[in-house]
A and B are shown apart, each in its own frame.
Chain A
């Protein structure tokens, strides 16, 4: 069983809300599931919206969109990145 922190749950909830993932619940998103492509099926506009989410909720400014691709690979990757870089 992977460790499920509050941050993981919080992230899932805000992703569902920010990206209008209708009919989805926190428990539907796996921590290591790919967010883009075959996984949740997010697209390039969603990626930009996730960049806004990082800044708004965690005070992290991401200026290189290419870097986003690695960070937004999964909830686990996102949570690790936020823990290491958050300013709020």
Chain B
């Protein structure tokens, strides 16, 4: 199996419209979450990661007509543009396009505005990105709940191995809507305050909106340190469609299988980027799976305290952050951690750490439908 090298990327989020702006805020521990007493989504206050529509529209106007595209489309197109700007020589005739989203433009169900009904279809979202930039290959759209963004990277790896293309742009995104916010609220899963992953006093998740794009390839960047996806595995809990497994079965199995593919043992892992949504059950399940994998001592974080849960974008953004942590030898702190609130032993990073050699990093994700995903990233080409 070929490796999948992670090249240039771009994150569009409340923390900024470039990856470097996002990283600045992660280093300084600045959150993108805001508490809104009055909001468009619920009658009650919410705390969420919201992309400023005015700034987005202004920024998007530089590459297209904002009126022709939904907020989600604008975010996704800007993310892809950010990657293409750094790769003007990329041959779009041969470059694959993989899209990840959970709900796409579902907000149009409530009010189509001036858009056509086709915009509700997720495959249409793929075609919008394809046509905007002039990609030639048919886009592949992945919609697999909250692991979608990471799974899209695993899909890219498989399609590259199948010889369909040797480079691809993977783009993930989801936006806030009354639909999604009221749904999580009906699950009594939302926290009115900043979420506290893995903490004893955690009360639930914050939702967020964001998009991210990354160029992936079967070839490394020349004369450079490279990060690649060397192991990935998904596994279903086969237990419940909304509640995480009590034993962490599916996630544990995903971690084990990804280690197997990476041909390393758990001791090689230097840091973990968790799903860490701050619901009671997710964090507990994840801690159990991590501890069962003998990774309880390994530094870990959740970035949900910065972004909230960005659904189909989250695992892709977090994979991109893994890449930058490894390249920059740093770990971003897990915001809002108070006191360990999970039954298994884990090692939550609460302060920004520098000068750490991260040669292997594990990324985990889980979602509705009982799905779980683990990915292992490797650093190579660095001397010493």
**Contact residues of A with B, CB < 8 Å?**
43-45, 48, 51-52, 63, 65
- Chain A min CB distance to B238 (Å): 15
Q: Tell me the complex Cα distance, A52–B186, Å.
A: 8
- Chain B min CB distance to A59 (Å): 15
A51 touches which of B188, B242, B243 (Cβ 8 Å): B188
- Chain B min CB distance to A54 (Å): 13
Q: Note all chain A residues with C-beta closer than 8 A to B186.
A: 48, 52
Sample of 14 A–B contacts (CB below 8 Å): A43-B240, A43-B243, A44-B240, A44-B242, A44-B243, A45-B241, A45-B242, A48-B186, A48-B187, A48-B188, A51-B188, A52-B186, A63-B188, A65-B188
Closest A residue by C-beta to B243:
A44
Closest A residue by C-beta to B187:
A48
**Contact residues of B with A, CB < 8 Å?**
186-188, 240-243
- Chain B min CB distance to A40 (Å): 17
Among B188, B241, B242, B243, the one with the most A-chain Cβ atoms within 10 Å of its Cβ is B188
Extra contacts, 6 of them, besides A43-B240, A52-B186 (Cβ < 8 A), are A43-B243, A44-B242, A45-B242, A48-B186, A48-B187, A65-B188
Q: Tell me the complex Cα distance, A54–B241, Å.
A: 24
Q: For chain B, what secondary structure do more than half of its interface residues adopt (helix, strand, loop), or is it mixed?
A: loop
Q: Note all chain B residues with C-beta closer than 8 A to A48.
A: 186-188
Task: Sort A-B residue pairs by CB-CB distance and give the 7 closest, nearest first.
Answer: A65-B188, A44-B243, A45-B242, A48-B187, A48-B186, A48-B188, A52-B186
Closest B residue by C-beta to A43:
B240
Q: For chain A, what secondary structure do more than half of its interface residues adopt (helix, strand, loop), or is it mixed?
A: helix
Q: Tell me the complex Cα distance, A78–B36, Å.
A: 34
Q: Note all chain B residues with C-beta closer than 8 A to A52.
A: 186
Q: Note all chain A residues with C-beta closer than 8 A to B243.
A: 43-44
Q: Note all chain B residues with C-beta closer than 8 A to A51.
A: 188
Q: Note all chain A residues with C-beta closer than 8 A to B188.
A: 48, 51, 63, 65
- Chain A min CB distance to B185 (Å): 11
Q: Tell me the complex Cα distance, A63–B189, Å.
A: 11
Q: Tell me the complex Cα distance, A44–B189, Å.
A: 12
- Chain A min CB distance to B112 (Å): 27
Q: Note all chain B residues with C-beta closer than 8 A to A43.
A: 240, 243
Q: Tell me the complex Cα distance, A43–B243, Å.
A: 10
Closest A residue by C-beta to B242:
A45
Q: Tell me the complex Cα distance, A58–B257, Å.
A: 50
- Chain A min CB distance to B237 (Å): 14
Q: Tell me the complex Cα distance, A48–B183, Å.
A: 11
Q: Tell me the complex Cα distance, A39–B242, Å.
A: 21
Q: Note all chain A residues with C-beta closer than 8 A to B241.
A: 45
Q: Tell me the complex Cα distance, A44–B242, Å.
A: 9
- Chain B min CB distance to A70 (Å): 16
Q: Note all chain B residues with C-beta closer than 8 A to A63.
A: 188
Q: Tell me the complex Cα distance, A51–B241, Å.
A: 19
Q: Tell me the complex Cα distance, A44–B280, Å.
A: 14
Closest B residue by C-beta to A51:
B188
Q: Note all chain B residues with C-beta closer than 8 A to A44.
A: 240, 242-243
Q: Tell me the complex Cα distance, A51–B186, Å.
A: 9
Q: Note all chain A residues with C-beta closer than 8 A to B240.
A: 43-44
- Chain B min CB distance to A68 (Å): 9
Q: Note all chain A residues with C-beta closer than 8 A to B187.
A: 48
Q: Tell me the complex Cα distance, A45–B241, Å.
A: 9
- Chain B min CB distance to A13 (Å): 22
- Chain A min CB distance to B160 (Å): 39
- Chain B min CB distance to A14 (Å): 17
Q: Note all chain B residues with C-beta closer than 8 A to A65.
A: 188
Q: Note all chain A residues with C-beta closer than 8 A to B242.
A: 44-45
Closest A residue by C-beta to B188:
A65
- Chain A min CB distance to B285 (Å): 14
Q: Tell me the complex Cα distance, A44–B241, Å.
A: 10
- Chain B min CB distance to A49 (Å): 9
Q: Tell me the complex Cα distance, A65–B186, Å.
A: 11
Q: Tell me the complex Cα distance, A81–B241, Å.
A: 30
Q: Tell me the complex Cα distance, A55–B206, Å.
A: 24
Q: Tell me the complex Cα distance, A45–B187, Å.
A: 8
Q: Tell me the complex Cα distance, A48–B242, Å.
A: 12
Q: Tell me the complex Cα distance, A45–B186, Å.
A: 10
Q: Tell me the complex Cα distance, A4–B188, Å.
A: 32
Q: Tell me the complex Cα distance, A60–B247, Å.
A: 35
Q: Tell me the complex Cα distance, A65–B241, Å.
A: 19
